[in-house]
Amino acid sequence: MKPYNLFFCKQFPVSYLESNPSTTESVPNLIKNISKHGLKEPLICKSKLFDDSNSYFQVEPGQCRLIAMKQLGFKYVPIFLITESFMIEYLTELNINFNKISLKNALKKCKLNSPSYNRILDFIKKG
């Protein structure tokens, strides 16, 4: 299993998040749903590093939710960040407020067997 850290960021800047959705068909419905009910679960993100100077945070899954939130004007969003140890310094440099969270506590913030719940378990199993 690869080393990883699981963090919870209550207010992560939306502008730092990237997505690569295969389809955007569900975005209009998500805009209606999020504007009516809010975000039900934190997004799940993985850190990616291209080189020493260019990093970003990839939303997986929830790419269409991110697009909907950007269109709704969200500035911050709660996320679970799955990252390797080297990214802690980068998060600190960005002034991101984060707390290490246990797998058990992360899963408590998700609905049982929701896509977010299962995706977190998937990451941990695969390492």
C-alpha 46, offset from chain centre? 7
Q: Is the pTM of this model over 0.85?
A: no
- How far is residue 78's CA from residue 81's CA, in Å, rounded to a whole number? 10
Radius of gyration of the chain from Cα atoms?
Answer: 14
State pLDDT tens for residues 41-93: 899 888 876 555 556 788 877 789 999 999 999 999 999 998 877 777 888 88
Per CATH, which fold does 5-126 belong to? 3.90.1530
**Contacts for 50 with CB less than 8 Å, ≥ 6 apart:** 56
Supply the pLDDT for residue 9: 93
